[in-house]
């Protein structure tokens, strides 16, 4: 099984600008995962002006290195576009590496809707050039739709198996976070955003690395 890492991206108890930072961070993580040839699956906690947090599952060789490289505080330096008169220009988010993967949810293959895609998108030389890529979608009993795109193999049959595994991993990680939050186990974690010595710094409305 391919290496897998699970991250929590959190705005903590920060204002709406911190949630905007989380949205930008998810885009930056997806871009880097594509460059590195990793698969990335994201489950967001929606809130006004951006996600309050998100679970990110990285799969592939190099997932651990990327997770280590991003773990820590992120500073976004930008004047607020939501509150133009606000004097504050520093907004923080945090990326936490989460413990080893929870037991994966069992998903019946016949409950997953799979559509063939032309394999393109990020990944550079790593991407599959055939038409074997698929988008897999599964709706849970609560009516929430989950989706992953798989380009890993030149075999569509193999990609279907990979898709179910990745759907299961993403949903299981998300549910584990919900259960931990319900027990308040994540309360302190979300509040632990460190304002000093940020691991990464981004500037301006285009969220450019400093």
CA angle 56, 62, 68 (to 5 degrees): 60
The partner residues of 45 in beta bridges, in order of sequence, read 53
Q: Give 171's pLDDT tier (boundaries 50, 70, 90).
A: confident
pLDDT over 50 at 150, yes or no: yes
pLDDT for 1:
65
Q: 79 in helix, strand or coil?
A: coil
pLDDT for 81:
92
pTM of the predicted model, to two decimals? 0.78
Q: Give 162's pLDDT tier (boundaries 50, 70, 90).
A: confident
pLDDT digits 0-9 by tens, 18-76: 999 999 999 999 999 999 999 999 999 888 999 998 999 999 999 999 999 999 999 99
pLDDT over 80 at 2, yes or no: no
CA atoms within 13 A on the CB side of 79: 4
SS3 sequence of 98-140: CCCCCCCCCCCHHHCEEEEECCCCCCHHHCCCCCCEEEEEEEC
Least confident of 58-62, 139-143, 181-185: 181-185
According to DSSP H, which parts of the chain are helical? 16-36, 63-70, 156-182, 187-191
- Please compute the mean of the pLDDT values over residues 144-160 and round it to a whole number: 78
Distances (CA, A) of 26 to 10, 31, 73: 11, 9, 14
Share of the chain above pLDDT 70, in %: 79
Least confident of 75-84, 92-101, 142-151: 92-101
pLDDT digits 0-9 by tens, 189-202: 555 566 668 999 99
pLDDT digits 0-9 by tens, 94-137: 998 887 655 667 888 888 998 877 645 444 444 444 456 788 99
Q: For residue 109, how many other CB atoms are within 10 A of its CB?
A: 12
pLDDT for 123:
44
Please state the separation of Cα 100 from the chain's center in Å: 16
Domains located in the chain, CATH noted: 4-101+175-209 (3.30.70.1660), 109-172 (3.30.160.20)
d(CA 106, CA 57): 17
Does residue 184 or residue 15 have the better pLDDT?
Answer: 15
Residue 107's contacts (CB-CB under 8 Å, 6 or more residues apart) are 138, 164, 167, 168, 171
Is the Cβ–Cβ distance between 58 and 66 less than 8 Å?
yes
Residue 37's contacts (CB-CB under 8 Å, 6 or more residues apart) are 60, 61, 62, 123, 124, 125, 126, 127
d(CA 68, CA 204): 25
Share of the chain above pLDDT 90, in %: 44
Burial of residue 140 (number of CB atoms within 10 Å: 0-12, 13-18, 19+): middle
d(CA 62, CA 38): 7
pLDDT over 70 at 10, yes or no: yes
């Amino acid at each position: 099984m391919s290496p897998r890492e699970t991250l929590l991206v959190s705005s903590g108890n920060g204002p709406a600008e911190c949630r905007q930072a989380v949205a930008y961070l998810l885009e930056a993580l997806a871009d880097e995962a594509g460059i590195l040839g990793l698969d990335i699956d994201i489950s967001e906690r929606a809130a006004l002006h951006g996600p309050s947090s998100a679970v990110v599952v990285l799969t592939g060789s190099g997932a651990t290195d990327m997770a280590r490289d991003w773990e820590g505080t992120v500073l976004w330096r930008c004047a607020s576009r939501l509150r133009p008169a606000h004097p504050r220009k520093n907004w923080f988010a945090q990326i936490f590496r989460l413990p080893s993967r929870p037991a994966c949810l069992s998903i019946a293959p016949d409950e997953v809707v799979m559509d063939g895609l032309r394999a393109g998108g990020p990944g550079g030389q790593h991407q599959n050039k055939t038409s074997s890529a698929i988008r897999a979608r599964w709706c849970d009993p609560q009516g929430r739709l989950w989706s992953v795109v798989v380009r890993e193999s030149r075999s569509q049959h193999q990609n279907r198996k990979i898709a179910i595994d990745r759907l299961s991993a993403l949903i299981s990680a998300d549910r584990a976070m919900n259960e931990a939050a319900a027990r308040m186990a994540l309360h302190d974690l979300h509040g632990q955003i460190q304002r000093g010595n940020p691991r990464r710094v981004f500037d301006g409305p285009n969220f450019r690395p400093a």
